[in-house]
């Protein structure tokens, strides 16, 4: 299954392996040796490494890789619910289901295929899902790794029901950082946010950048399409570009909460930051036959 796009350039590769529980994973590798690992368990991205073999995503040392547990870390897809805003389990069911490969994915746009490795995963509702959330949908997730190491996720969700449905959505992204107290986020200043630590009350961000000195669990509303996370110690900046995802979830459990999370190390909050491209405040409604697209692109650049 090598749909690397650039056939003339065999070094952009797509390889399928299995984890120790027998669940298939796809490894995408670009021409420079950067890689992305995606699991069919939850359609989850478990690893994104630079061409110098540096891991850019955080996964807890206590993460559980056995369905129906969600994996603590990487990039998870929250659908059809984000957080506890709804009747389903936390963050919806997509992140705990076993997805399938599309063996013949539609090709990338010709201008887009240069040296790019990609894979398409599909989620279709089971009988059980339809009992919990009675809406028929097709969900296609395309994960691609470009020549320059950019990681892109494109979700396409189609309503194949005879009636409309609504959902919320997020890419829950655990970034690996040097130290949470050395990190700042730009692109959220002046925005309103819902604070999950204050019963989802609405506040306005006053700071000119977001820094961390205690637990944070917020959803920033109607942000611009580009957010930057500066890691001073690693001299690295993550850029998060998004389309169809107006909101941004920001989470760090800090010390006390970390100790209460079973699949999370007591001190691991120092090395991670969750920043989620999301559509939460105004759920997305699809009429029969309609399709929604949500796109997230992550890049990293050295910074001073």
Q: Which residue positions form the known binding site for substrate?
A: 72, 90, 95
- How many other C-beta atoms lie within 10 A of the C-beta of residue 67? 16
Which pair of tokens denotes residue 231? 């890691």
Say how far apart CA 223 and CA 98 lie, in whole Å. Answer: 32
By CB neighbour count within 10 A (0-12 exposed, 13-18 middle, 19+ buried), where does 304 fall? exposed
The residue among 15, 7, 59, 65 whose CA lies nearest residue 35 is: 15
Residue 260 host element (H or E):
helix 254-260
Strands, sheet with 183-186, edge to edge from the N-terminal-most edge strand: 100-101, 117-123, 137-145, 151-159, 291-302, 236-243, 226-231, 183-186
Torsion of Cα atoms, 64 then 69 then 73 then 77, to 10°: 160
Q: Which pair of tokens denotes residue 151?
A: 């990681």
DSSP 62-110: T---STTSPPSBSEEEE-S--TTSSSSSTT-SGGGSB-EE-SSPPPPPG
d(CA 173, CA 75) in angstroms, rounded, equals 4
Which residues participate in the annotated binding site? 72, 90, 95
Other C-beta atoms lying within 10 Å of the C-beta of residue 69: 15
């Amino acid at each position: 299954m090598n749909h690397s796009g650039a056939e003339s350039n065999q070094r952009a590769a797509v390889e399928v392996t299995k984890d120790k529980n027998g669940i298939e994973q796809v490894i995408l590798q670009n021409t420079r040796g950067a890689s992305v690992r995606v699991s069919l368990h939850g359609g989850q991205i478990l690893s994104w490494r630079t061409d110098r073999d540096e891991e850019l995503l955080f996964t807890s040392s206590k993460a559980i890789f056995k369905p129906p547990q969600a994996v603590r870390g990487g990039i998870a897809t929250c659908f059809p619910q984000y957080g506890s805003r709804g009747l389903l389990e936390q963050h919806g069911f997509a992140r705990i289901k076993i997805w399938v490969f599309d063996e013949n994915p539609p090709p990338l746009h010709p201008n887009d295929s240069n040296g790019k490795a990609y894979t398409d995963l599909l989620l279709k509702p089971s009988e059980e899902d339809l009992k919990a959330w009675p809406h028929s949908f097709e969900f296609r997730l395309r994960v691609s790794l470009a020549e320059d190491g950019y990681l892109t996720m494109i979700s396409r969700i189609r309503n194949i029901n005879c009636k409309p449905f609504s959902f919320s959505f997020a890419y829950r992204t655990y970034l690996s950082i040097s130290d949470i107290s050395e990190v700042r986020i730009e692109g959220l200043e002046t925005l309103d946010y819902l604070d999950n630590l204050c019963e989802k009350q609405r506040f306005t961000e006053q700071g000119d950048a977001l820094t961390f000195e205690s637990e944070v669990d917020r959803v920033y509303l109607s942000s611009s399409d580009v957010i930057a996370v500066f890691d001073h110690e690693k001299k690295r900046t993550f850029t998060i570009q998004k389309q169809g995802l107006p909101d941004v979830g920001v989470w760090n459990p800090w010390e006390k909460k970390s100790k209460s999370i079973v699949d999370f190390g007591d001190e691991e909050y120092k090395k991670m930051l969750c920043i989620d491209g999301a559509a939460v405040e105004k759920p997305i409604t699809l009429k029969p036959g309609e399709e929604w697209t949500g796109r997230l692109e992550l890049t990293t650049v050295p910074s001073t």
